[in-house]
Amino acid sequence: MLPRKSMTWVLLLLLLSLAIINLSTSQSDARWAAKKRRLRDKVHKMFYHAYDNYMIHAFPHDELKPLSKSFTDSLSELGNLKLERLPQDYSGSALTLIESLSSLVIMGNNTEFQSAVVWLSENLTFNVDARVNLFECNIRVLGGLVSAHLLATDSTDRLGKGVYKNQLLTLAEDLGKRFLPAFNTPTGLPYAWVNLKYGVMENETTETSTSGCGSLILEMGALSRLTGDPKYESAALRALRKLWSMRSSLNLLGTTLDVSTGEWIEYSTGIGAGVDSFYEYLFKAHILFGKEEFWRMFHSAYIAVQKYFRHGPWYHEADMRTGKATYWQLTSLQAFWPGLQVLVGDIAAANSSHREFVYVWKKYGVLPERYLLDHQMLHPTEKYYPLRPELAESTFYLYQATKDPWYIEVGESIVNSLNLYTKVDGGFASIRDVTTMQLEDHQHSFFLAETCKYLFLLFDDSFLVEKNYIFTTEGHPLPVLSSWHDRLPDTYIQTNRTLLKTGNQARQTSSMSKQVCPPTTLNSWECSGQQVESACHVPDARSDHRCLTDDECGVDSSNCRRRSCSMAGYCGLWLFI
């Protein structure tokens, strides 16, 4: 035994060591907090540099041309939405203003939000001879109006008394009614284009995308819940159900289809352009409306994606009929996928893919539109970067899930690149070629609706404290309300049950009732000391894991890979050893 005097010194040294550790931790936390505040302020300045230049040089037209300090009415493709009290030959929808509404709230500018709401209430009309793209007008305009209405009527009293009398909801309902003629097809799948005044035009194209007809349920469903009129949600739901019925035996869907015949046009498919938001809206619709049907669709589709598209951390494209790989390429739109995986609970898989996107970003300074995985090179013609938000979005979600400061560093890298390569005197310009950083004279509205918003929330999430929102594919927040749920079961769905073990007790849980982290995830403070399985997990057919064929093996809980049957007759990840 140590002498009493020696024991005293040992105790003093131990206490001193603990004090030093606590001081060091406290200082480290303070440094990170200060860094996040600095980055938040930097993003705040970015947003207003873009917003103010739009208001000075482009408003009330659609979008800003930052190099020439002029405007473009980009909705000339989506539709020329005219404003009252302006010359008859003027076309424009103040698209960027509509897209900025929720960002203004998140950044705490209730005064500007109120001014924008009043201006739109007095000037915007949809009674115009304008051919609009249903999908784009839905996610940008309808989604922006519905979200802003919900923010204007929540409990925070952010608008002056008597200022708001549901004007945005009235506009949203008027727009929703003008969407409905697009759904008058033999299949119930909507046309990609509709004229806001005259409906579907003669000889209109019958080709649309999976995203185009399968990503309408959030905005139109929310509109039905707010107005009490089920026809908007019913139209979107009928289209979604028809689309799901067209899946292959592998539970895969193609990219483009014919709304009249219900036949597929493009069989090659993936998680990128043309399909991306379909997967996103299946899961988010389940969260927003509580329908088990949405989960069943998503669960089957998600497992199919993991089985047929995933190759390590990457996702290639494949033929929906055979599952055979078609194109080995990364597209910038795919960068949303890790964020969706965070919502599902597959943190390890999300982190793995996210790091590959970050690698490509750092390689070129920004994320190119298309990158050829099999050649490790840029696509020869799609070298542009239009200020897309998807990588910032996934970075935000992963930081929320893990609180790993590495994601703050990723966000800082994104902010620095945007300021270094895209900031100009008149706003933020798109990049035409990432190899030369040649700029293009276009500031897309989603830069304000999403890119700046997700970066701001990464560094300052005070808007989300004690609140529960899902974000649409255009970044518009919709609150998760119990009154919108068809039902609220104790455990959300039978097919999503996982086992949560606490001591000797075992109880059912799910990725919806608790943040779910795969067992292999490191530093998962939510899962510390608990064994929680991933939502993608499909158990083997037998509890002893014996098998005769691959069909008797499930999907691994830690990495979402399909398990196979070994020659010895046991299920496992034998193909990946």
Q: Left, alpha or beta for 345 (phi > 0: left; psi -120 to 50: alpha)?
A: left
- List 63, 173, 219, 276, catalytic entry: 276
CB 61 within 8 A of CB 72: yes
Among 62, 63, 112, 136, the active-site one is: 136
Q: Name every residue whose Cβ is closer than 8 Å to that of residue 333 and which is 6 or more positions away in sequence.
A: 272, 273, 276, 388, 390
Half-sphere exposure of 166 (CA within 13 A, CB side): 7
Rg (CA), the chain: 25
- The rounded distance, in Å, linking the Cα atoms of 333 and 451 is 13
The owner of tokens 């979402």 is 560
The helix/strand/coil state of 404 is coil
Ligand-binding annotation for 473, yes or no, is yes
Active site residue 533: no
Tokens of 565: 């049957």
Q: Residue 436 contacts by C-beta under 8 Å, 6 or more apart in sequence?
A: none
Is the distance from CB of 266 to CB of 256 less than 8 angstroms? yes
In angstroms, the CA 285 to CA 292 distance is: 10
Give residue 319's region: left, alpha or beta (phi > 0; psi -120 to 50).
beta
Tokens of 444: 């897309």
Please indicate whether residue 390 is annotated as part of the active site: yes
Helix, strand, coil tally for the chain in percent (to 5) = 50, 15, 40
**Rounded to whole angstroms, how far apart are CA atoms 90 and 170?**
23
72, 481 Cβ separation under 8 angstroms? no
φ and ψ at residue 144, rounded to 5 degrees: -65, -40
What is the Cα–Cα distance from 575 to 119, expressed in whole angstroms?
Answer: 60
* C-alpha closest to that of 333 among 398, 254, 390: 390
Question: How many residues are given for the chain?
Answer: 577
Q: Is there a catalytic annotation at residue 292? A: no
> CA quadruple 457, 463, 465, 467: dihedral positive or negative?
negative
- DSSP run (H or E) holding 143: helix 143-152
Residue 127 identity (one-letter amino acid): N
Q: Which of 369, 412, 474, 533 is catalytic?
A: 369
Residues that constitute the known binding site for Ca(2+): 473
By annotation, the residues acting in catalysis are 136, 276, 369, 390
Known binding positions: 473
